[in-house]
Chains A and B, each alone.
Chain A
Amino acid sequence: MATLAQVELNEVVRGSSTVPVIEVEDIHKFYQLGETQVHALRGVNLTIERGEFVAIMGSSGSGKSTFMNLLGCLDRPNSGKYMLEGDDVSQLEKKALAAIRNRKLGFVFQGFNLLSRTTALENVELPMLYAKLDKQQRLGRAKEVLELVGLGQRMDHFPSQLSGGQQQRVAIARALVNKPAILLADEPTGNLDSRTSVEIMQIFQELNDGGLTIVLVTHEPDVAQFAKRIVVFRDGKIRHDDLVQDRPKAAETLKNMPAVDED
């Protein structure tokens, strides 16, 4: 099952430009935990160009989650600069950040985070609702993206009627529906079995091949291998930043995996 439908990928990728998608300069973030101040990020610098596929790794407490929240505009840094597509977004107001999350960022979470008792189609429609698109545009676009991730036949299913892999595909469709500049995936395979994990990575690889920039947080080296570049965090700083040698193709890996009966 599940090869990415042959839909024009530029449908989900924004127009190219030479500006880096993400440019982070000397970012610091503090937390107040009771009496003690935690210095979660201690001067992080990172540039991600258009079309990159970056895996962020690190143990818990390394600052990778904090960094991801900053990239996702869910939080603001205490100091430093965060340029998203050339615009400084590090000190924007809440409302402006909401608009950026809506238009420029797509989120995929470990726990899928779909709205229960809401169909796949309605889940995918949701970001467009906040983008204030009208009903027809929403429907058309949501169907298109669901087809893209291979769920054209299950649009009216509720999350509880879908397998983990299928739920994550709905989440990916939801992330892509507003044509984001970047897809942020936080442990997207954490709740999935190994075969389904590879299937999800296959989708990511294909989306990336189509030009979509992807940042993926994971602590599984197997999963990180599918990315083009691996950034390792430790103690609030980037310790390693390497390109992946001999990157496996998820599609190939799948062929060599024993079939598990899903569905």
Chain B
Amino acid sequence: MTGVIMDFAAILRIAVQALTRNKMRSLLTMLGIIIGVGAVIATVGLGQGAQQAVQDQIASMGTNLLYISAGSVNRGGIRLGGGATKTLVDNDMQAILREVPQVSQVAPGAGASSQVVYENQNWSTRVTGTSPQYFDIRNWPFARGGSFTDDDVTRATNVVVLGATVQQNLFGNSDPTGQTVRIGNLPFQVVGVLTAKGQSGLGQDQDDGVYIPITTLQKKITGQDWLQYIMASASSQAASFSAQNQITAVLRDRHRIRAGQDDDFSVRNLADVAQLADASSRVMTMLLASIAGVSLIVGGIGIMNIMLVSVTERTREIGIRIAIGATESDVMRQFLSESVVLSLTGGVVGILFGVGSSVMITRLLGWNMLISPAAVVAAVVFSMAVGIFFGFYPARKAAVLDPIEALRFE
């Protein structure tokens, strides 16, 4: 069988032979690529892990969530903080549900801080008044028991759902459902415990809170009949954007806000937040990866440098090869294959190094890292490209040597 090119195994063997002649030199040259590829893999992994974490946190706040909060109010030039207005009321919520078709569910929200007491344990926490839809909208399952009912809301009964942190502090590991706790001076029967959600994106403990019917809160604890916020769930993420605009329109109308006047409420869309967070972590990842990429290029220059030295050292060998019939492309191929073997080996070791350090960072710092197959493939392809790119000039130099001169070279 006569191959079109020198058989591949022979080329590879010759390249490996040549490289193992100078083991230390080859290793040091490879080190540049190893560090470059390792750094790219690790930073991209880290970045993607961070991105995933942000996405997870946003998803944990609820799906397609719209958050309508009572706005600030301007009284004689004094602006009070968010939630200070009394204009956001239960009827607004009903109107949103009625008039904005993209909104599938709504839940009211108002809260107060209070001491919750069970036997000799007590815990200061946030008491939120809401409706059973709240848990659906926030995509929040129960660990024990279940939600209070719409009926409880209508009748303003004394029932409570505990967050996981509160449950842990008051009851430890025992089952609290059916037990009675005191909120302020009122007894409440525990009907359910929520699953632990962990910290929010801002570092708040989402599990530190208790939930009671909104009517109970308004009538028996705060004595206020307005809402601090309304949570609405849009039918899809795409619908959430148009829902946002419609809710604004409905509320401006209901609150009789004239054109040009500021809203006395605000509507926030979590899809916006998600996109923003996603974009910023992607930019961060790109930034880190490109810094790491620079070291890959420096590694490539190292290869070029060492290949140039190698070509000079082996001038005579090249002369011999040309004299006995090597063509320019044969010589070219030989030196290119050496630089590609260098960079590719470096790339593979670099991947191992990158994955290894990722695992270590994950273990030591508890950061989330994702090693994507795409990043690994890209690293292999890129390191090969580095080998070809930076090996090209030295190989070309070798290929065009004048054999007569080369054979005379001492």
**Interface of A with B (CB < 8 Å)?**
69, 72, 74-75, 94-95, 98-99, 101-103, 107, 109, 113-115, 117-118, 126-127, 129-135, 174, 178
Contact = CB atoms under 8 A, between A and B. Distances in A.
Given A75-B404, A101-B323, A126-B321, A94 B328 contact: yes
10 contacts: A94-B328, A98-B325, A98-B327, A98-B328, A99-B327, A107-B324, A113-B323, A132-B6, A134-B7, A135-B10
Contact of A135 (B5, B7, B316, B326): B7
B325 A127 contact: yes
Contacts of A178: 325
Chain B: number of interface residues, binned into ranges: 20 to 34
B326 A98 contact: yes
Contact of A132 (B4, B17, B404): B4
Interface in B1-38: 1-7, 9-10, 17, 21
B407 A134 contact: no
- Name, among A74, A99, A117, A178, the residue most crowded by chain B CB atoms within 10 Å (CB to CB): A74
B330 interface: yes
Interface of B: 1-7, 9-10, 17, 21, 316-317, 319-330, 403-404, 407
B327 A133 contact: no
A94 B399 CA distance: 11
Contacts of A95: 327-329
Contacts of B322: 74, 98, 101
A87 B177 CA distance: 104
A115 to B, nearest CB: 6
Contacts, number: 72
B193 to A, nearest CB: 73
B324 A126 contact: yes
A41 to B, nearest CB: 14
Contacts of A117: 17, 21
B327 A134 contact: no
Nearest to B325: A102
B318 to A, nearest CB: 11
A29 B3 CA distance: 37
A101 B329 CA distance: 15
Contacts of B17: 117-118
A72 B323 contact: yes
Contacts of A126: 321, 324
A131 B327 CA distance: 10
Given A132-B2, A133-B2, A127 B324 contact: yes
Contact of B320 (A72, A102, A115): A115
Contacts of A133: 2
A113 B316 contact: yes
Contact of A134 (B2, B321, B323): B2
Nearest to A113: B320
Nearest to B5: A132
A158 B319 CA distance: 19
Contact of A130 (B1, B9, B327, B407): B327
Contacts of B321: 126, 130
B21 A113 contact: no
A75 B330 CA distance: 19
Nearest to A112: B320
A133 B4 CA distance: 10
B323 A115 contact: no
B9 to A, nearest CB: 8
- Name, among A115, A126, A129, A134, the residue most crowded by chain B CB atoms within 10 Å (CB to CB): A129
Contacts of A174: 324
Given A69-B404, A74-B403, A134-B7, A94 B327 contact: yes
Contacts of B3: 132, 134
A117 B327 CA distance: 22
Given A69-B404, A75-B404, A135-B10, A130 B326 contact: yes
B325 A113 contact: no
A69 B3 CA distance: 30
B324 A101 contact: yes
A134 B327 CA distance: 18
A115 B2 contact: no
A74 B323 contact: yes
A171 to B, nearest CB: 10
A132 B4 CA distance: 7
Contacts of B7: 132, 134-135
Contacts of A132: 2-7
A109 B6 contact: no
A131 B325 CA distance: 8
A186 to B, nearest CB: 9
Nearest to A94: B328
Contact of A113 (B6, B10, B326, B407): B407
A141 B256 CA distance: 101
B6 to A, nearest CB: 6
A227 to B, nearest CB: 22
B325 A101 contact: yes
